[in-house]
Amino acid sequence: MHVTVLKRTLTDVIKHGKSLYQHASVALLGSLPNRCQLCQQRIEQLDYQQWFPYQVLSGICQVCLVASLYQHEVCLGCGREIPLLQAYCGKCLKHTPMLVIAPCSYHQGLGPLIAAIKYQQQCAPLNAITQQLATRINQLIEHKLIRAPQVLIPVPLHPNRLRQRGFNQAWLIAHRLSKILNIPLDDTSLIRVVDTVPQADLSGKQRRENCHNAFKLSDSVSYQRVALIDDVVTTGTTVDEIARLFSQQYIYVQTWCLARAEAPGLLD
């Protein structure tokens, strides 16, 4: 009896201590110098913690963040604007391409921040944008437009590129999503076996050739549903190449990213 009471008391103390630590951490981080990388204004926390408890808004202010998100529903296939919340536009319904989930367009606001995360290691806004991605995912799951995957798989870097850059931004996003959504992260089943050249300045054909056979799956993959995690989807060449490997094993694939770069003219 006394042992049970003691265990409960210790558990309550630990929980209380953890709560105090979280509140103190938020208060401390929220008081540090923190400017928006888009408008350069000081970031005020306002009601951010009411929406996302124990999270500190950093790297981007609420005004710029909200303004950069999709202000309309978009097709999860091609990214074009659609009038209602649904998976595909009429054109994509004919061939149901792979679902790409993102909270915003790369070309309409957050592109510079996402590029800075990858190339300049300016990761301050990563948590806030990832939180918006998680919110978008939960919305789509709630409306039964997507099914939650069994596992999150970040698009891997080749070991040479990982040593050069020092981190894999896709892994950072997947790790954060794993904690928010309580979905396991698997960073061993998918391997990049070819050290491909950067794709930013390549044409569509060159991207396809660059990624061809650049990845392989381990022999122990036993999932039915996976979500590929990346920072941005442009032509979709990389995720399509990876999806082809999973499809050969009858594994359903969707892609989650911080932003998608739609085809030229699609948003005009």
Q: What is the dihedral of CA 247, 253, 259, 261, to 10 degrees?
A: 30
pLDDT, position 171: 96
Domain layout of the chain by residue ranges: 1-68, 73-260
How crowded is residue 126: how many other Cβ atoms within 10 Å of its Cβ?
22
Per-residue pLDDT tens over the stretch 30-39: 444 489 999 9
pLDDT of residue 8 exceeding 70, the answer is no
Most confident of 19-28, 44-53, 166-175, 207-216: 166-175
pLDDT, position 145: 96
Per-residue pLDDT tens over the stretch 164-218: 888 999 999 999 999 999 999 999 999 988 876 565 555 555 555 556 778 889 8
Q: Which is higher by pLDDT, 221 or 50?
A: 221
How far apart CA 128 and CA 120 sit, in angstroms, is 18
pLDDT, position 267: 62
What is the distance in angstroms between the CA of the first residue and the CA of the last residue of the chain? 70
